[in-house]
Structure 1
Amino acid sequence: MTALFDALETRLSTLPPRALNLPGLVLRESAVLVPLFEREGVTHILFTRRPAHLRNHANQFSFPGGRRDPEDVTPLHTALRETEEELGIHRSRVRVLGMLDEVPTTTSFRIQPFVGVIPGDGQYRPSAEEVEFILEVPLRGLLEPSLYRTEKRTAQGIEYDVDFYTYNTHVVWGATARILRSLLALASEVGPQNWR
């Protein structure tokens, strides 16, 4: 296990995640797992691309996750259940490092992101209904400043910044990119000595 995972776990344990405070807005609960893994000594992050037929966020890169079901005791249960459903990774094989701040979406969801370590063996059983493509990216590669940009967008009369990361031909944007930016800031904070 890399020193980065240990350092992230320690840092996340000292940072209580900030819940959204958006008076007047009713947002549906959802949760995602931000999956990290080590392969051949290199830390990677995993994204899934959603199929074109889905109603929300079709063709977009995302982290495994989704809406909180009534039987999900906590948002963490949601993130682990969805990871199991989407990628075939049993929850017992995920080392949960901690939580990042909640993130809102323009589709009226509030996302609770959990950072977790998954096996690095690449043995996925993706759900054809929910996953069209799996993208594995070396985490260090995403720190290159030229990969990141923001654009102004307007929703419901409010202008806001949208984050974008372009890795090769793949574009990660929106709430997923916002979560990624938060993780990268935290990983940079815990120090390059922990990176591989």
Structure 2
Amino acid sequence: MHHPLFDALETQLSTRPPQALRMPGLVLREAAVLVPLLLRDGEPQVLFTKRPTTLRHHAGQYSFPGGSRDAVDPTPLQTALRETREELGIDVTGVRVLGALDEVPTLGGSGFRIQPFVGVLPQGLEYKPNPMEVEFIVEVPLAHLMEPTAHRTEPHRSRGVEYEVDFYTYGSHVIWGATGRILRHLLSLTRALSQP
């Protein structure tokens, strides 16, 4: 649970309020995700889920546990934790929430504004993924994601606007889209904390 990087991230996120999206004229549905960190053999890992190809939105993509905010969720954080519990089949009461990252939009047709929260999962959890929402779970070493060779960008166009899409590769796994943008923000903070 405790690692110097997690402590430093918590301090950094507590001193820097997350940026809200400013997209005038665009009505986006609220969503929230948990960016799950954990320690495996003392090394920080980032957890991703692969979505089944049968889903309506972002089928077959890698994502963080999360989803749209329901009326029962008093806060976006509650959304992220509820969805994590439902998708991974774990008890989320022991999750150490380090803070929030900047909101990101989904730029396809799904139209969500996503509030990401960074949280550390307790040691020794046994995942029981919901097969309706999760095809499988992959843990990726944070050190691998920090390697320049793991990351590339490609230009993309949506609604007449050109922007860069981030792709992160781990073996046969390719992480991109809104998840890639959230990951890029997390990694930029982590790099800044790792500088001597």
Normalised-by-shorter TM-score class: over 0.9
Equivalent-residue separation in structure 2 for 1:4 and 1:64 (angstroms): 22
Query: Which letter does structure 2 place at the counterpart of 1:36?
Result: L
Choose 62-71 or 152-161, whichever is displaced more: 152-161
The Cα shift of 1:192 comes to 5.7
Residues 1:132 and 2:142 are matched in the alignment: no
SS in 2 for 1:6: helix
What's the % identity of the aligned pairs? 63
| Cα RMSD for the two superposed structures | 1.1
Query: Which letter does structure 2 place at the counterpart of 1:29?
Result: E
5 Å matches for 1:35-74?
A: 35-74=36-75
Query: Which letter does structure 1 place at the counterpart of 2:141?
Result: P
Equivalent-residue separation in structure 1 for 2:80 and 2:182 (angstroms): 14
Residues 1:155 and 2:151 are matched in the alignment: no
Equivalent-residue separation in structure 1 for 2:88 and 2:94 (angstroms): 12
Instruction: Report how many aligned residue pairs link the two structures.
Output: 193
The Cα shift of 1:25 comes to 0.3
Match of 1:78 in 2: 79
Deviations 1:108-133 (A, max 9, x none): 10000000000232510100100001
5 Å matches for 1:176-187?
A: 176-187=179-190
The Cα shift of 1:177 comes to 0.6
The Cα shift of 1:91 comes to 2.2
SS in 2 for 1:91: coil
Deviations 1:34-77 (A, max 9, x none): 00001211110100000010000000000000000011000000
Deviations 1:66-112 (A, max 9, x none): 00001100000000000000001222121100000000012210000
CA contact 1:39–1:121 (8 Å) conserved in 2: no
Query: Which letter does structure 1 place at the counterpart of 2:138?
Result: L
Gaps of 5+ in 1: none
Query: Which letter does structure 1 place at the counterpart of 2:162?
Result: E
Deviations 1:140-166 (A, max 9, x none): 111110111111111222221111011
The Cα shift of 1:191 comes to 2.0
CA contact 2:90–2:125 (8 Å) conserved in 1: no
SS in 2 for 1:84: helix
Match of 1:145 among 136, 148, 155: 148
Match of 1:26 in 2: 27
CA contact 1:36–1:45 (8 Å) conserved in 2: yes
Match of 1:121 in 2: 124
The Cα shift of 1:167 comes to 1.0
Choose 14-23 or 155-164, whichever is displaced more: 155-164
Equivalent-residue separation in structure 1 for 2:98 and 2:78 (angstroms): 14
TM-score when normalising by structure 1: 0.95
Query: Which letter does structure 2 place at the counterpart of 1:96?
Result: V
CA contact 1:49–1:132 (8 Å) conserved in 2: yes
Match of 2:6 in 1: 5
Choose 29-38 or 153-162, whichever is displaced more: 153-162
